[in-house]
Amino acid sequence: MQSVDFTTLTAACSELRVQWLPARLEQVYQRDRFTVALGLRTMKQRGWIDISWHPAAARLCVGDAPPRIPDTFTFSQQLRHQLNGLALVDIAPVSPWERVIDLQFAKRPGETALWHLYAEIMGKYSNVILTAQDNLVVTCAHQVSAKQSSVRPIQTGQPYEMPPSLTDAAPSLLEPQNRWQERISLVPGPLKRNLLKNYRGLSSALVLSMVRSAGLDPEQSTDTLNSDGWGRLFDRWQYWLQALETSNFKPSFTPEGYTVIDWPAANPPSSTSATKSAVAPSSFSSIQELLNSYYTRETNQQVFAQLRHQLSQKLNSILAKLRLKANTFTERLQESADADTHKSQADLLMANLQHWQPGMKSISLPDFETNQPVVISLNPEKNAVQNAQALYKKHQKLKRARTAVEPLLAAVQEEIDYLEQVEVALSVLETYRTPQDLQTLNEIREELIQQKYLDVPDYRSGDKTGSIEFHRYQTPSGFELLIGRNNRQNDQLTFRTANDYDLWFHTLEIPGSHALLRLKPGTVAEETDLQFAADMTAYYSRARHSEQVPVVYTEPKYVYKPKGAKPGMVVYKQERIVWGRPQQARA
């Protein structure tokens, strides 16, 4: 993930100063343990500015409105208590070439700042610190004790100190090319490394885009560069510094990440790789839009991957235990299937007591019905009646075991069926593509917490008022097909969205999503529509890799949820079957 460098932070703050100063602070909301959002109102607009100290995604930019979930973080409560109702009067850098921004708050514009909110956007060392006029730290995103850092501890009640000063040379528009070139090439090495090592305010992403826009290879050694190459690179260097001085920025995505500099085209590029990397496939109208889009997507991808792995591991563990329990119950039932055999042997032995002899280890007696010989094992230390009584007792014990085990096995199998349904919803979510994918994953997590499969002490219920985004497709005849992404959506689809004219689809005795073919009054689904719906239903099931899958469909009024059933679990009747072809699905 590309980090916010000095250039990006300068561009973002330049834009914020123009659009959001002065502004009244109306609300403070902490989105997660790394991001706090300030709700601002100006004469023209309202919005939220995100300040994040995420180790890989620290940033300062306009963000989306926060979700409707109670904020229980202490840091945001402290900020709200001290800053609410004040005016944001300045967004100022505290020192040249430093990635520390001072957000100043006063009673009203034009007055002396009462509070300073320092946003230190410095990768894994990022922090957000609130100080009063006396420069004492009132609160911070995370405190740094003297044991953690002897160089710069950060503690409430202590004076705020700036990060250690940078020692590299500061870039300057006044520096001539020969001095600049001498500094970079003094010790021969790759262009990228030498630029980063000799000047402050640079980042790997900035240097890569700068060098490639000059048509050069970032790994090219400085001692192999000719005068023309040095000239092109110095032109880009000057172009960058002028952009900083005049706030001339243009945000766009690149194959590696993003850039805020509209670099001139390379003339001519020295390699194919340089040309390919300089391409900017998409642009944005503002720095804020780019940063919010990029870091929301990147952090969502990280959260998605971590959460999916966590849920998969938990599901696999629970299912393994339940399947082991089910196998144990099944074995006990198989043993109890011999209960009637023990009773018939006992009856046979009681009817033929005269054939028993002391010390016998077994006896062969003709069966009552077939007259075939039946061999009965005996305890030689017991007489015939005692052996028969032992067989009667064994029959009763196995009979009681069967009565006790059958409901236990049914309950375990019900749990397995439910969790396999959850497992299918999780398996379909292989990679992050849209914010709805992360929302679906969070809904699955919340469902498992509510069903007591996940223990989360600080669990906070999600936003129940948010819109539900089903998978949406169109059949060959133009009908809409809706497919649930998880059990919550399956229940919503089947019992709230469906009407009397729709058709409900599900794979036959195979875990999978519920699907709903929306039909208007007086319309009839063609065979191609039914086949399309069956194909898509089969695709969103555990049998998605099969060639053919049996899919049932019926009217929604014939689908029921048994009393006490878990989310997504239903029974149905008056169903018809069509064979789905998941490999033909157009997902």
- Count how many Cα atoms sit within 13 Å of the Cα of residue 379 in the half-sphere of its side chain: 10
Q: What is the pLDDT of residue 399?
A: 79
211 pLDDT more than 60: yes
What does the alpha-carbon distance between residue 264 and residue 249 come to, in Å, rounded to a whole number? 13
Backbone dihedral angles phi then psi of residue 40, each to the nearest 5 degrees = -115, 150
What does the alpha-carbon distance between residue 432 and residue 440 come to, in Å, rounded to a whole number? 11
Burial zone of 461 (CB within 10 Å; 0-12 exposed, 13-18 middle, 19+ buried): exposed
Q: Residues of the chain with pLDDT > 90: what percent? A: 70
Contact 37, 30 (CB under 8 A): yes
Could you report the per-residue pLDDT of 502-560, keeping only the tens digit for each?
999 999 999 999 999 999 998 999 999 999 999 999 999 999 999 999 999 999 999 99
Residues 86-95, mean pLDDT to the nearest whole number:
95
Q: CA quadruple 26, 32, 36, 38: dihedral positive or negative?
A: negative
Q: What is the pLDDT of residue 404?
A: 82
Could you report the per-residue pLDDT of 42-72, keeping only the tens digit for each?
999 999 999 999 999 999 999 999 988 888 8
Q: What is the pLDDT of residue 560?
A: 94
Backbone dihedral angles phi then psi of residue 91, each to the nearest 5 degrees = -130, 90
Contact 231, 215 (CB under 8 A): no
Q: What is the pLDDT of residue 461?
A: 63
Q: What is the pLDDT of residue 283?
A: 66
Strand order in the sheet with 258-259: 258-259, 252-253, 282-283
Tokens representing 486 are 């998880």
Q: What is the pLDDT of residue 82?
A: 96
Could you report the per-residue pLDDT of 423-466, keeping only the tens digit for each?
999 998 989 998 899 999 999 999 999 898 988 776 666 555 55
217: amino acid identity, one letter: D
Burial zone of 276 (CB within 10 Å; 0-12 exposed, 13-18 middle, 19+ buried): exposed
What does the alpha-carbon distance between residue 262 and residue 349 come to, in Å, rounded to a whole number? 99
CATH number of 177-283: 1.10.8
23 pLDDT more than 50: yes
- Count how many Cα atoms sit within 13 Å of the Cα of residue 207 in the half-sphere of its side chain: 20
This prediction's pTM:
0.79
Binning pLDDT at 50, 70 and 90, where does residue 203 land?
very high
How many helical (H) and strand (E) elements, i.e. helices and strands, does the chain have?
13, 22
361 pLDDT more than 50: yes
Could you report the per-residue pLDDT of 238-292, keeping only the tens digit for each?
999 999 999 999 999 888 899 999 998 765 444 434 434 444 446 688 999 999 9
Binning pLDDT at 50, 70 and 90, where does residue 5 land?
very high
Find out whether the peptide bond into 550 is cis, omega within 30 degrees of 0.
Answer: no
Q: What is the pLDDT of residue 271?
A: 42
What does the alpha-carbon distance between residue 173 and residue 531 come to, in Å, rounded to a whole number? 68
What does the alpha-carbon distance between residue 311 and residue 291 come to, in Å, rounded to a whole number? 29
**Cα–Cα distances in angstroms (integers) from residue 250 to residues 15, 260, 278, 415, in the given order:** 11, 5, 14, 55
Binning pLDDT at 50, 70 and 90, where does residue 400 land?
confident
Contact 554, 504 (CB under 8 A): yes
Which residues are CB-contacts of 65 (< 8 A; sequence separation ≥ 6)?
A: 48
Q: Please report the DSSP string for 416-483 in residue order.
A: HHHHHHHHHHHHH--S--SHHHHHHHHHHHHHHHHTTSS--TT-----TTSPP--EEEE-TTS-EEEE
Q: What is the mean pLDDT of the chain?
A: 90
Contact 557, 500 (CB under 8 A): yes
150 pLDDT more than 80: no
Q: What is the pLDDT of residue 274?
A: 40
CATH number of 6-140: 2.30.310.10
What does the alpha-carbon distance between residue 469 and residue 486 come to, in Å, rounded to a whole number? 11
Residue 281, helix vs strand vs coil: coil
Tokens representing 171 are 């870039």
Look at phi and psi of residue 85 and say left if phi exceeds 0, alpha if psi is from -120 to 50, else beta.
left
Tokens representing 217 are 């290879």
Could you report the per-residue pLDDT of 159-185, keeping only the tens digit for each?
999 988 888 899 999 999 999 999 999
339 pLDDT more than 80: no
Whose tokens are 């090219």? That residue is 220
What does the alpha-carbon distance between residue 467 and residue 314 come to, in Å, rounded to a whole number? 28
Strand order in the sheet with 46-52: 59-63, 46-52, 35-41, 23-32, 87-93, 100-106, 115-120, 127-132, 137-140
Domains 6-140 and 177-283 share a fold: no
SS (H, E, C) 102-120: EEEEECCCCCCCCEEEEEE
- Count how many Cα atoms sit within 13 Å of the Cα of residue 569 in the half-sphere of its side chain: 16
- Break the chain into its structural domains and give their ranges: 6-140, 177-283, 334-414, 471-584
Q: What is the pLDDT of residue 343?
A: 81
Q: Where are the alpha helices (DSSP H) in 102-190?
A: 177-185
Tokens representing 336 are 């109890």
What does the alpha-carbon distance between residue 560 and residue 437 come to, in Å, rounded to a whole number? 28
